[in-house]
Structure 1
Amino acid sequence: MAKAFASQGDMSEKKITFDEVGEGLYAFTAEGDPNSGVIIGDETVMIVEAQATPRLAEKVIERVRSVTDKPISHVVLTHYHAVRVLGASAYRADNIIMSDAARGMVAERGQEDWDSEFQRFPRLFEGHESIPGLTWPTATFSNSMTVYLGNRRVDIKHIGRAHTAGDAIIHVPDQNVMFTGDIVEDHSACYCGDGYFADWGKTLDNILAYDVDAIAPGRGGALIGKDAVNRAIQSTRDFVESTYRPAARVAARGGSLKEAWDAVRAACDPKFADYAIYEHCLPFNVSRAYDEARGIAHPRIWTDKRDLEMWEELQG
């Protein structure tokens, strides 16, 4: 290869923040690294997103213990990606929840995704030797399910494809707060390598319809207040559309993946080059946009081998 993936050289420590986004609701964020969410009920706690390893999950648990000593009973995983799910064992929760589609993707491509992500982004797998294996849910849902943490109602729903086929959102009605996973990002690049460009905007519209007061996004800072929420949803929409349209134009005229890469960079670099993990995501985003524009409806499985082949092609 001419050079390594940008993420392979990203070894800098990220500053952790822990923001209250509603009463008893918290966003664990880390400058563009994967976020987690915390929902405190009457008797127990629900975690949203597990982190990539049990060691990294302990950082979330440390922050939870700074605000409550209630046991963690539930872990909700918004999708199947390794950096979100492989730390689940640290919480010792009896209930691990995914959508049916997300569980199916663990079965179909969970190990390949783990191998691929570990190669691409080693820093996010601190303590990888502590991962006991693939994370499997104890409960799944097709369209929606409701969990009661005592009197606190938590609605978990699949409202459309975006970042993956099985994305879930978590809505807490008593505070009108949502945890969106990677459907919404804030000043952080969307990872679109397993995404559905044609559906993403409609799924964002479905989130807008909730008119929430705060969002804990998949990456980036907590979004508190409707202005912040609407801004992040619009910037996410702009990122996704600005990635797809140039690649689709190249694909329509029979151009190459490298030409699509150049076209997407020309459109996106001026607007998004300062976003967290922008360079990390870009090659995978271009590849998926180019595939979808050529009629490949469902994302192909990324493997550590395919990653390298794609990167070599983009390097010319």
Structure 2
Amino acid sequence: MVNSLPRRLVSMLFLAATAVSVFAPWTASAQVRTADPALRGVPLTDFPRFVKLSKHVYGYEEIRQPGFTTVSLIVLGKDGVLIADAQGSAAATQTMLDRIRTITPLPIKWYVVGSDHGDHTAGNHVLPGGLTWVVHPTSLAQLKRDSAAATAGRTVVVPPTAMTGSEQTIDLGTTQVVVRFLGRAHTGGDLMVHLPKEQILFMSEAFLNRVFPAMRSAYPTEWARTVDAALALPRVKRFVPGHGFIEKDKRSREELITFRDAITSVIAESKRLKTLGLTLEEATKRANWGDVGTWFLADQQAPIAIRRVWAEMDAGNR
């Protein structure tokens, strides 16, 4: 059995190793491949922050609990701005809107729901009115259910209509954006934003960079195939995650492949545990996740992943 080291211990080991080489220059290539800002060497005071991806395109990294990033995409058009995914609260989303005003006076005109989960949609009610929404039918249905079940003080914004087909092109004047549905992954309504000219693909929660594959509402086997479809897209050099750090071109592809391999390894290990006839509690204790077991949320998400893979297996056996 391989257990992840306590995060505090990992941080201490990292700091000790850093102290030994204190005079060595810190470069991007030397950065630890992790979603943990402390291990990455990025102070929390740096967030929220923009990561400029091209002349008109920015990633927006904000810290969410328990301490890794939630990423939004900002595309500046000729007459307006497109946002893909907001943040997990009204305050965090309003901060993002305020920060956008520091780089452009243009109004927000388009909004893409890459993920329908609350950590990307809970602040949507502070978005400006009159938006053109792009949302997958599966996510629209989920947002309707969430709205119907919302408790007092919680607002769930339900877009007026869903997209038809598997892609939708938006001409922003400065560039073209292609919103793509490549298959079910983390939510079932996973949308990605492709900028062919800039060779960028924002993947929302279909790509969790060094975060344990969170499968509460996922489609495990399909998720791996969806990532393969993203990797096979032409004119993409930079893959932008919905959580974890935004990487440079080559490294972003390497990390996406690593994440795809993490999904398949979690599926394989969960299947192995099921063949042993274990209970979920027993399987969680005996699971060998390898290096993926050291990733963010591993302790929390591993039992959920096992249960989800087992459910997928049972559905396939009926």
Both structures adopt the same fold (TM-score exceeding 0.5): yes
| Secondary structure, counterpart of 1:235 in structure 2 | helix
**Offset, 1:282:** 2.5
**Offset, 1:53:** 1.9
The alignment's C-alpha RMSD in Å is: 2.6
Whole-Å separation in 2 of the counterparts to 1:253 and 1:277: 25
| Secondary structure, counterpart of 2:218 in structure 1 | coil
Name the structure 1 match of 2:177. Answer: 154
Whole-Å separation in 1 of the counterparts to 2:116 and 2:267: 23
Whole-Å separation in 2 of the counterparts to 1:54 and 1:174: 33
Name the structure 2 match of 1:169. Answer: 192
**Offset, 1:290:** 2.3
Name the structure 2 match of 1:195. Answer: 218
Name the structure 2 match of 1:85. Answer: 121
Name the structure 1 match of 2:52. Answer: 20
Cα 1:148–1:192 change in 2 (3 A) is same
**Is 1:247 equivalent to 2:267 in the alignment?**
no
| Secondary structure, counterpart of 1:182 in structure 2 | helix
Structure 1 gap segments, 5+ residues each: 1-5, 7-11, 116-127, 298-316
**Is 1:103 equivalent to 2:140 in the alignment?**
yes
* Aligned residues of 1:247 and 1:293 also touching (Cα < 8 A): no
Deviations 1:11-30 (Å, cap 9, x if unpaired)? x9953331011221111113
Bigger RCO (CA 8 Å, 6+ sep): 1
Whole-Å separation in 1 of the counterparts to 2:147 and 2:228: 29
Q: Which amino acid aligns with 1:213?
A: K
Name the structure 1 match of 2:238. Answer: 214
Deviations 1:227-248 (Å, cap 9, x if unpaired)? 2122111121122122211211
Whole-Å separation in 1 of the counterparts to 2:257 and 2:156: 34
Structure 2 gap segments, 5+ residues each: 1-5, 7-37
Name the structure 2 match of 1:62. Answer: 98
Q: Which amino acid aligns with 1:140?
A: A
Whole-Å separation in 2 of the counterparts to 1:35 and 1:279: 22
**Offset, 1:261:** 1.5
Name the structure 2 match of 1:125. Answer: none
**TM-score, structure 2 length as denominator?**
0.76
Q: Which amino acid aligns with 1:217?
A: P
Whole-Å separation in 2 of the counterparts to 1:81 and 1:296: 26
**Offset, 1:110:** 5.8
Whole-Å separation in 1 of the counterparts to 2:310 and 2:286: 11
Q: Which amino acid aligns with 1:215?
A: F
